[in-house]
């Protein structure tokens, strides 16, 4: 028999995924920004910062979607529980 999956455990896993996703996307944005800075923009700093910002923005968007989906499914479970007790 499968053990129940608690919402807290699922949220913890989502937060871990969000942090790792954020670090990877931030690092990838920095690397791409550095490459573009070296090749096309005469070693300026703004492409590096912009690449890191794009990476963080993408990670934030993905994390927000994942967490909202989890919380919405949790609120529908809570609504079912309150209907059963009445």
23 or 77, higher pLDDT = 23
Structure tokens, 59: 């990670």
Give the integer Cα–Cα distance in Å for 7 and 69.
Answer: 12
**DSSP sequence for 17-77:** HHHHHHHHHHHHHHHHHHHHHHHTSTT-SHHHHHHHHHHHHHHHHHHHHHHHHHHHHHHHH
pLDDT digits (tens, 9 = 90+) for 25-65: 999 999 999 999 999 888 888 999 999 999 999 999 999 99
């Amino acid at each position: 028999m499968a053990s129940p999956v608690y919402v807290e455990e699922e949220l913890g896993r989502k937060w871990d995924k969000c942090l790792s996703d954020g670090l990877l996307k931030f690092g990838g944005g920095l690397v791409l920004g550095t490459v573009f800075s070296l090749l096309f923009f005469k070693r300026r700093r703004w492409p590096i910062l912009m690449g890191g910002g794009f990476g963080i923005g993408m990670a934030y968007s993905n994390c927000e979607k994942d967490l909202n989906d989890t919380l919405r499914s949790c609120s529908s479970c809570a609504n079912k529980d309150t209907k059963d007790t009445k």
